[in-house]
A and B are shown apart, each in its own frame.
Chain A
Amino acid sequence: MKRRDFIQLAGLGTGAFMLPGLAMGRTVSPEALMEPGLDVSVKKRLADAALNAAKSQGATYADVRIGRYLNQFVVTREDKVQNIVNTESYGVGVRVIANGCWGFAAVADAKNEAQMAKAAADAVAIAKANSKLMKEPVQLAPQKGFGEVSWKAPIKINAFEVPIKEKVDLLLSVNAAAMQNGANFVNSIMFQVNEQKYFASTDGSYIDQDIHRIFPQFNVTAIDPKSGTFKTRNALSSPMGMGYDYLQTNPADKVTGITTRYNKGYDMLEDAISAAKQAKEKLTAKSVEAGKYDLILDPSHLWLTIHESVGHPLELDRVLGYEANYAGTSFATLDKWQSKNFQYGSKEVNLIADKQQVGSLGAVGWDDEGVNTKKWDLVKDGVLVNYQATRDQVHILGEKESQGCCYADSWSSVQFQRMPNVSLAAGKTPLSVDDMIKDVKKGIYIIGDGSFSIDQQRYNFQFGGQLFYEIKDGKIVGMLNDVAYQSNTQEFWNSCSKVCDERDYRLGGSFSDGKGQPSQSSAVSHGSSTARFDGVNVINTARKI
């Protein structure tokens, strides 16, 4: 990842959070975030100006995205507030097809019809210029217009309406609790995002959407000055497509066990206390013996393995080679899909794409090219059955309608194929985590996400975690250090022998998944229940320098 994709928060040092390359725009006062955006009737008038201009310039298709993107970050360490940042970005992106080729132009702070018409004309001019280097004209899957419609994320508490003081108080109390329980350092942060997006196209859609995301996070460090060793433990929170209601704790959202994990209500204070104690415990935990282990992977960990080894390889643009220079291509080639018998995983493995899942990061009513969102199978009973596609790709799959996987991270970015929520279906047979562990002779139970790396065709991967517990003869016997597992995607998913039932189903997710050149960020959730993978290769990562 290039440095320009991230904005490093000054002075945070090790354990610092990297702000994702979100549509940051200008810095504003917190009150400005509460001001309503443009009225929907104004947006329709502006959109029509662009659509009409595009058509009159010779476009055969045009869409307009009028976007207002709001972000708030509250950043603290120990007993100090380091930064409070409020940003707003507003502008318009116009995309057209002319001479069979895509063209795109964007304009900041567009307020009148003349600016809209100019952006549309610029987009058409770019399309016509690019068409000279085009090999095949764009084949756009038909899409019916929806008229004037809207979608709003089903949030209970708008995080932007919660006073900043309340967020500062929460983070400082979380930090204090960690320090009281043995942490030497603690950084915490509250990220909030609100995307107010208006989409209009020559298909006759005028779609107004209001999307919310939240990510409370911390990083606790424990130090043993005598040995010069330090260990960290990150929050077991997940970024969610929710409001501040994610911070309302509820006993029903807690999964108890060796450590408490969370579903749709996160107890940040309780997790910080556990984190401090566990970071200290890590200082003296046993170093793992390398070898083959049965892995029990918690949803707070497994989401990232799903993301990297299922979500990315099944992006159709990667499969076709459009990402070859950066993110890479994919092992999951079209011939494997066409064979109808490519065993991606064992029979226990059902992987589902879903753009409608409530509370998830990827949930919207329509995607960024006016396609209503859906739910579909990617891997069914272990067999590869489908991909993720956009309107200009879906004909390759023989489908008549797009799956709705188009997204742009800002009004100023071109929309392209992005990952929907991709999740492992819960097991159909009743099975609890405790019962799953009872059968394991030599295993490791992994909770939380850590280091992650996978090759450019998504075969070979290595993952770390936050907490590792050794399992011997069906019992957890203690904490381990220096654990990372390496496997191959197909081998790994075929070693999946059991998946817990839906009682254990939880969402994890990525707040800032990077793809494209210039790089764009997107947010996506991955759900699962705890799952077992047999005989996976574990390495020891301890070194001396």
Chain B
Amino acid sequence: MAILSKEEAKKIIDKVLAFSKADEMSVGLSGSRTGNIRYARNSVSTSGETTNLSLSVTAVFGKKSGTSTINEFDDASLEKTVRRAEEIAKLAPDNPEYVPMLGPQKYLEINSFSDSTAAITPDYRAQAAFDSIDPCAKKNLTAAGYLEDTTGFSALGNSKGLFGYNKATSIDFSITVRTADGKGSGYAARDYNDASKLSAKSATEVAMQKALASSEAKALEPGKYTVILEPTAGVDLLQNMMRSMDARSADEGRSFLGKKGGGTRLGEKLFDERVNIYSDPQNLEIPGSPFGGGGGGRFGGGGGDGMPQEKVVWVENGVVKNMYYSRYWAEKKGVKAIPAPSGFIFAGGTQTLAEMIKGTEKGILVTRLWYIRAVDPQTLLYTGLTRDGTFYIENGKIKYPVKNFRFNESPVIMLNNLEAMGKPMRASGNLIPPLKIRDFTFTSLSDAV
């Protein structure tokens, strides 16, 4: 019941809209089934499955809007929800930034649904946990991991004739392996739309290898180092930067894209000329959502006001080419509205990680960055720490594990200090290359393993 077809969803949305007495009305309908299994100390700790189906109605009178939500679908309940949304709207204060709803839109065809993920059973999850725990237990290592899969759909329609529908699946797996003496720790994470691409066993093998190799780490002095950030390490910093590309904040002068003397840095070269960043909802490796804003794209659609998602170039040859514009801000500035995408693609090179290590005279290989927090929004300075596998590279070879570092670094500075980029890999719904960066700033050492 939780996953409705396009026709079933449209039938319910049309029925709701027929009850409307408001100036404008929009309806969002979404459903999902999410399952998970969690384990630690080589034993399953929790597992569960949740299904959810809910309908949200927004009624608008003039510039006043009200929203009501329900998870019952008989005619009386639907009409009650419409009336309640209308009552809330009438009581709401005017929203001076209200923009009238969109009419019918043309959406891109996107294949973000996979039968193999939709068919996942509790047995599948238990097997994945076993495939991960068993090899660790046999080598006297300790596994802690988490697997979560979601199958969902999202539909929206409004009184101006707009209708959109998308269904999507996702699977996320992460594994931390620690040595029995607590001196080594390794990590691997994988995420896909299609569960048949996931091998919990091979991801666990990567984490096991890193755990064993990271024991007896040596301390290096903090300072500026050439680093190779694996995609799992680079993704959060890059994603944080891309989420800060809102045009309104830049126009208001409170963003790293604000310009001295006013205006924005749109059109300015801000990064190394090899930096190219774009989003493409039809990309086969990270299929996005056909409509709506960022977030939720991997779970069937972003909902929102139904703005179509298209291919957008954000950075080209190091130059800022686009920023997000809400429909209100776009209208005010006389430009096209651009929603935030659900994932980004950082164009990289063709080298593998192993080839990048081989080409490094002196450097540090970073598996994962942790507890990343903004320090200064003006410069996008972030702090955080390396974790679960940090190694010293010399003359093209991994020489020995090193103790974890705290860093203070800005992705903007990082992308100016670019040495090389490898072949992009999917990480948290983005495509990220391994990045070789010079002068990456480590400010202190951590005893944490």
Contacts A168-B93, A453-B373, A518-B148 given; indicate if A484 touches B383 (C-beta within 8 A). yes
Query: Does A257 lie at the interface of the complex (its beta carbon under 8 Å from any beta carbon of B)?
Result: no
Question: Is B126 on the interface with A (CB-CB < 8 A)?
Answer: yes
Residues of A within 8 A of B43 (CB): 133-136
Best-surrounded residue of B244, B254, B293, B304 (most CB of chain A within 10 A)? B254
Q: How does the 8 Å CB contact mask read for B30-47 relative to A, with 1 for contact and 0 for none?
A: 000000101111111111
Contacts of B45 in A (CB 8 A): 322
Indicate if B248 sits at the interface (CB-CB under 8 A).
Answer: yes
Residues of B near A518 (CB, < 8 A) are 36, 148
B84 near A29: Cβ-Cβ < 8 Å: yes
| Interface presence of B370 (CB below 8 A) | yes
Judge whether B258 and A325 touch: CB under 8 Å. no
A8 touches B46 (CB 8 A): no
| Alpha-carbon distance A465/B301, docked complex (angstroms) | 38
CB distance from B386 to the nearest CB of A (A): 9
CB of B350 within 8 A of chain A? Answer: no
**A451 CA to B244 CA, complexed, in Å:** 17
Asked if A541 contacts B47 (CB within 8 A), the reply is: no
How long is the Cα–Cα vector from A85 to B36 in the complex, in angstroms?
A: 30
Annotate B347-385 by CB proximity to A: 1 below 8 A, 0 otherwise: 000000000000000000000001111111111110111
CA distance A453 to B405 in the complex (A): 12
> In the complex the two chains form, what is the Cα distance from A78 to B244 in whole Å?
21
Nearest B residue to A229 by beta-carbon distance?
A: B378
Whether the pair A488, B447 counts as a contact (CB closer than 8 A) is yes
Q: Is A156's beta carbon under 8 Å from chain B?
A: no
B260 located at the interface, meaning its Cβ lies under 8 Å from any Cβ of chain A in the complex: yes
- Cβ-defined contact, A80 with B38, below 8 A: no
How many Å lie between the Cα of A543 and that of B408 in the bound state? 10
Q: List chain A residues, Cβ under 8 A from B375.
A: 451, 462, 464, 484, 541
Distance in angstroms between the alpha carbons of A106 and B84 in the assembled complex = 28
Contact A486 B406 (CB under 8 A): yes
- CB <8 Å contact, A13 and B144: no
Contacts of A322 in B (CB 8 A): 40-41, 45, 144
CB-defined contacts of B39 to chain A, threshold 8 Å: 133
Report the number of A-B residue pairs with Cβ-Cβ less than 8 Å. 234
- Shortest Cβ distance from B404 into A: residue: A455
Pick from A8, A454, A517: contact of B38, CB below 8 A: A517
Q: Which residue of B lies closest to A29 (CB)?
A: B88
User: Which residues 157-214 of A have a CB within 8 angstroms of B?
Assistant: 168, 184-185
Whether, in the assembled complex, A102 has its beta carbon less than 8 Å from a beta carbon of chain B, the answer is yes
Q: Shortest distance in angstroms between A465's beta carbon and chain B's nearest beta carbon? A: 11
Contacting chain A: which of B63-71, B157-165, B274-282, B311-319?
B63-71
Q: Which residues of chain B are near A130, meaning CB under 8 Å?
A: 44, 47
Q: How extensive is the interface on chain A, given as a class?
A: 35 or more
Do A223 and B254 touch across chains, with their CB atoms under 8 A apart? yes
Interface segment, B106-114, B283-291, B438-446? B438-446
Q: Is the CB of A543 within 8 A of B413?
A: yes
Residues A462 and B447 in contact, CB atoms below 8 Å apart: no
Q: Which of B171-205 contact A (CB under 8 A)?
A: 174-176, 178, 182, 185
A4 to B300 Cα, complex, angstroms: 13
Q: Given A27-B69, A543-B379, are A457 and B248 also a contact pair (CB < 8 Å)? A: no
What B residues does A451 contact at CB under 8 A?
A: 373-375, 383
Q: What is the 8 Å Cβ interface bit string for chain A, positions 445-478, against chain B (1 contact, 0 not)?
A: 0000001111111111010100000000000000
- Chain B residues contacting A229 (CB-CB under 8 Å) are 378
Residues A325 and B175 in contact in the complex (CB < 8 Å), given A11-B97, A451-B374, A545-B256: yes
Contact of A41 with B by CB under 8 A: no
> Do A106 and B93 touch across chains, with their CB atoms under 8 A apart?
no
A539 touches B96 (CB 8 A): no
User: What's the Cα separation between A460 and B54 when bound, in Å?
Assistant: 44
A228-B447 in contact (CB<8A): no
| Residue B135, interface by CB 8 Å | no
* A10 in contact with B383 (CB, 8 Å): no
* Residues in chain A near residue B176, CB distance under 8 A: 324-325
Q: Could you tell me if B47 and A453 are in contact, using CB atoms closer than 8 angstroms?
A: no
Cα–Cα distance between A221 and B258 once the two chains are bound (Å): 14
Bound-state CA distance A99–B252 (Å) is: 61
- For residue B26, CB closer than 8 A to chain A, the reply is no
Instruction: Flag if B68 contacts A325 (CB, 8 Å).
Output: no
Given A230-B258, A451-B374, CB of A126 within 8 Å of CB of B447:
no
Which A residues are CB-close (under 8 A) to B400? none
Closest to A330 in B: B448
How many angstroms from the CA of A338 to the CA of B294 in the assembled complex? 49
> Chain A 514-537, CB within 8 Å of chain B: the 1/0 string?
000110000000000000000001
Most A CB atoms within 10 A — which of B38, B126, B304? B38
- Chain B nearest CB, measured from A18 CB (Å): 11
State whether the Cβ of B309 lies closer than 8 Å to any Cβ in chain A: no
CB of A455 within 8 A of CB of B254, answer: no
Q: A15–B67 Cα gap in the complex (Å)?
A: 25
User: Which residues of B from 226 to 249 have beta carbons under 8 Å from A?
Assistant: 244, 246, 248-249
Pair B146/A325 contact, Cβ less than 8 Å = yes
**Given known A-B contacts A8-B295, A106-B50, A455-B448, A462 and B406 have beta carbons under 8 A apart:** yes
**Chain A nearest CB, measured from B246 CB (Å):** 5
Chain A CB within 8 A of B103 CB: no
Residues of A with C-beta under 8 A to B413: 543, 545
Instruction: Check if B328 sits within 8 Å of A541, measured CB to CB.
Output: no
Contacting pair B387 A230 (CB below 8 A): no
Please determine whether B44 and A134 come into contact, CB atoms closer than 8 angstroms: yes
Q: Evaluate contact between B69 and A14: CB separation under 8 angstroms.
A: no
A102 to B38, CA, bound (A): 13
| A147 CB-CB contact with B under 8 Å | no
Cβ of A108 within 8 Å of any chain B Cβ, yes or no, is yes
A344 to B10, CA, bound (A): 62
Say yes or no: B443 contacts A539, CB within 8 Å. Answer: yes
A505 to B56, CA, bound (A): 45
With beta carbons under 8 angstroms apart, the residue of B144, B260, B262 that contacts A325 is B144
With CB as the reference atom, state the residue of chain B lying closest to A308: B371
A395 to chain B, nearest CB (A): 16
Task: Kindly provide the distance from the CB of B330 to the nearest chain A CB, expressed in whole angstroms.
Answer: 12
Which listed residue (B40, B97, B445) contacts A323, Cβ 8 A?
A: B40
**Minimum CB distance partner of B142 in chain A:** A321
Which residues of B are found within 8 Å of A544, using beta-carbon distances? 379
**In the complex, chain B residues whose CB is within 8 Å of the CB of A321:** 40-41, 142, 144, 178
B166 at the binding interface (Cβ < 8 Å): no
Asked if B260 and A226 sit within 8 Å, CB to CB, the answer is: yes
B122 at the binding interface (Cβ < 8 Å)? yes
Question: Once the chains are docked, how many angstroms separate the CA of A518 from the CA of B50?
Answer: 12
Contact B70 A26 (CB under 8 A): yes
Asked if A431 lies at the interface with its beta carbon under 8 angstroms from chain B, I say no
Is the Cβ of B381 less than 8 Å from the Cβ of A543?
yes
Task: Report whether A517 and B36 are in contact in the complex, using a CB–CB cutoff of 8 Å.
Answer: yes
The answer to whether the Cβ of A3 comes within 8 Å of any Cβ in the partner chain is yes
Q: CA A457 – CA B244 in complex, angstroms?
A: 30
Q: Does A227 contact B (CB under 8 A)?
A: yes
Give the Cβ gap from A437 to chain B, nearest Cβ, in Å. Answer: 26
Chain B residues, CB < 8 A from A168? 93
Instruction: Report if A133-B385 is in contact (Cβ < 8 Å); known contacts: A185-B254, A459-B448, A518-B36.
Output: no
**A320: Cβ under 8 A from any B Cβ:** yes
B447:A460 contact, CB within 8 angstroms: yes
Whether B261 is near chain A, meaning CB under 8 Å from some CB there, is: yes
In the complex, B412 has a CB within 8 A of chain A: yes
Q: How far, in angstroms, from A227 to B378 measured CA to CA in the complex?
A: 12
Beyond the given A134-B43, A321-B41, could you list 15 further A-B residue pairs with CB under 8 A, ordered by the A residue number?
Answer: A8-B295, A10-B326, A11-B248, A26-B71, A27-B68, A109-B71, A133-B126, A228-B259, A321-B40, A325-B176, A414-B48, A453-B384, A460-B444, A543-B410, A545-B412
| CB pairs A–B below 8 angstroms (21 shown) | A11-B248, A14-B254, A80-B95, A104-B46, A184-B254, A225-B261, A225-B262, A322-B40, A323-B40, A324-B176, A328-B370, A329-B182, A455-B404, A458-B448, A460-B406, A460-B445, A462-B383, A486-B406, A517-B148, A539-B443, A545-B270
Q: Top 10 closest A-B pairs, CB basis? A: A228-B260, A460-B446, A324-B144, A455-B448, A457-B448, A13-B249, A325-B144, A26-B69, A517-B146, A543-B379
